[in-house]
Amino acid sequence: MRIAELIEQLEDLRQDLGDDVEVRLAFQPSWPFEHSIGEIVASDPADVDEDEDEDDTTRAARDDDHVPVVYIGEGRQLGYLDTAGARALGWGRR
């Protein structure tokens, strides 16, 4: 997903639901949990020092993909994802 797509989807939800709606992360469709959102950061592969300790796979991926990435960090686990959330994601609920 690109940042413009994420912003567009969030803006659509904001128009439908208002500004005071909590945003959470859902994980593990087979045993769904919900988490708060932690830190949101940008990582630019061009900023990595060539002398930094990284394995060959990481270095090759970085060298092939000189594209910044935004990471949404996982906050704390809030509990199990409720049935409505699981169904909205198409995960069902076991």
Is 94 inside any structural domain? no
Is 52 inside any structural domain? yes
Is 91 inside any structural domain? no
CA distance 37 to 23: 7
pTM of the model: 0.71
Q: Is the pLDDT of residue 90 over 60?
A: yes
Give the pLDDT band of residue 79 (cuts 50, 70, 90): very high
Is 90 inside any structural domain? no
Is 73 inside any structural domain? yes
Is 26 inside any structural domain? yes
CA distance 57 to 64: 11
Question: Closest Cα to residue 69, out of 3, 5, 9?
Answer: 3
List the Cα angle 29/89/81 in 5-degree steps.
60
Parent domain of 16:
3-85
Structural domains of the chain, count: 1
- In tens, the pLDDT along 37-75 reads 999 999 988 777 665 555 655 555 555 567 899 999 999
